[in-house]
């Protein structure tokens, strides 16, 4: 129980204890993080006791976190690469794993003076905005279907000079002028039916539409491989985030659909995370 009059460092210890007991895996980091969220100051250097409103807000955040609401939703914003994005209920939390997709995508644009990029399944816009931050000359458009995610996407894209559009990946390729793009990126929903049935508590708070990739997890990749190649310039690239066990299956889909130079990139945990493929 967080009460007014507590010094911030003591409140942080109290939160750590409660979060640990509640089974929150990152309790050590999250205790002081939540206190700073409420006071705006690092608890270690703060001599001002919590007032009643702060104690009340902190207790409410603690209860939500114990109910395993993602920390990102409680914060309302999250750092990704070198940008800070608005995030909340209704949109997938940006994950550091996804930074690799931006880095690989950006490296494919080297030597392209004013590249055109389309990011499908944009969510907060982290991929498109991340690429724009790494390649400022890029003209990036983000596409998203979910009405709940669009307000976050709109606000983030406006803040970082990226275009965004509401639309459905299944059919949007018909609205893209043929041969107009240098790079297509996507982090599509890719969980299998079995994975959807056993989500971690935090992930269960995130929208199913952002996660569910169909029974075998490959529904979106099948469509992307089959339909999006004509949108690219000859020699243009597609870069896709994948689940760590999907490298061989997604590579096979792309090769079968006539893509070349198909390559799987591994993340910092040495797991398959991104697949690259080129239009011949």
Ligand X SMILES: C[S@@+](CC[C@H](N)C(=O)[O-])C[C@H]1O[C@@H](n2cnc3c(N)ncnc32)[C@H](O)[C@@H]1O
Lay out the site mask for ligand X across 193-232 (x = CB under 6 A, - = otherwise): ----------------xx----------------------
- Alpha-carbon gap, residue 232 to 180, rounded angstroms: 6
Binding to ligand X by residue 169, rule CB under 6 A? yes
Cβ contact 236:181 at 8 Å: yes
H or E stretch covering 275: strand 272-278
| Interaction residues for ligand X, span 172-191 (CB under 6 A) | 187-189
Structure tokens at 236: 């243009």
- Contact in structure between 149 and 120 (CB atoms under 8 Å): no
Q: Does 130 interact with ligand X (rule: CB under 6 A)? A: no
Nearest approach in angstroms of CB 78 to ligand X is 10
Using CB under 6 A, which of 51, 168, 215, 255 touches ligand X?
168
- Closest to ligand X by CB, 165 vs 264, is 165
User: Count of CB atoms within 10 A of residue 9's CB?
Assistant: 17
Give how far Cα 161 sits from Cα of 111, 143, 153, 157, 172, Å: 21, 15, 12, 6, 22
Least distance CB 21 / ligand X (angstroms): 31
Candidate ranges 36-44, 47-55, 67-75, 163-171; the one touching ligand X (CB under 6 A): 163-171
Alpha carbon 200 to chain centroid distance? 17
DSSP code per residue over 109-141: TTT-SS-EEEEES-TTSHHHHHHHHH-TT-EEE
Query: Measured from the CB atom, is 189 or 217 closer to ligand X?
Result: 189
Site for ligand X (CB under 6 A): which residue of 127, 183, 242, 275?
A: 127
**Contacting positions for ligand X (CB under 6 A):** 92, 94, 98, 121-124, 126-127, 143-146, 149, 168-170, 187-189, 209-210
């Amino acid at each position: 129980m967080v009460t007014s009059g507590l010094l911030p460092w003591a409140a942080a210890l109290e939160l750590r204890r409660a979060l640990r007991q509640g089974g929150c895996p990152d309790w050590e980091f999250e205790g002081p993080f939540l206190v700073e969220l409420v006071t705006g100051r690092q608890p270690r250097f703060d001599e001002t006791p919590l007032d009643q409103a702060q104690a009340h807000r902190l207790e409410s955040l603690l209860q939500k976190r114990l109910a395993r609401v993602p920390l990102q939703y409680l914060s309302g914003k999250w750092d990704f690469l070198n940008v800070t994005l608005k995030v909340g209920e209704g949109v997938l939390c940006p994950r550091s794993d996804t930074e690799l997709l931006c880095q690989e995508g950006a490296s494919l644009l080297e030597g392209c003076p004013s590249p055109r990029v389309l990011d499908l399944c944009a969510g907060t816009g982290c991929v498109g905005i991340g690429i724009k931050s790494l390649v400022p000359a890029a003209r990036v458009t983000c596409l998203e279907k979910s009405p709940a995610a669009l307000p976050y996407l709109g606000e983030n894209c406006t803040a970082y000079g990226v275009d965004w559009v509401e639309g459905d990946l299944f059919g949007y390729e018909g609205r893209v002028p043929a041969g107009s793009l240098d790079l297509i990126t996507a982090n599509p929903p890719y969980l299998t039916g079995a994975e959807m049935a056993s989500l971690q508590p935090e992930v269960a708070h995130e929208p199913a539409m952002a996660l569910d990739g169909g029974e075998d997890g490959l529904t979106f990749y099948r469509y992307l491989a089959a339909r999006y190649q004509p949108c690219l310039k000859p020699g243009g690239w597609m870069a896709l985030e994948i689940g760590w066990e999907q490298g061989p299956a997604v590579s096979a889909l792309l090769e079968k659909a006539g893509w070349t130079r198909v390559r799987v990139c591994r993340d910092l945990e040495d797991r398959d995370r991104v697949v690259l493929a080129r239009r011949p």
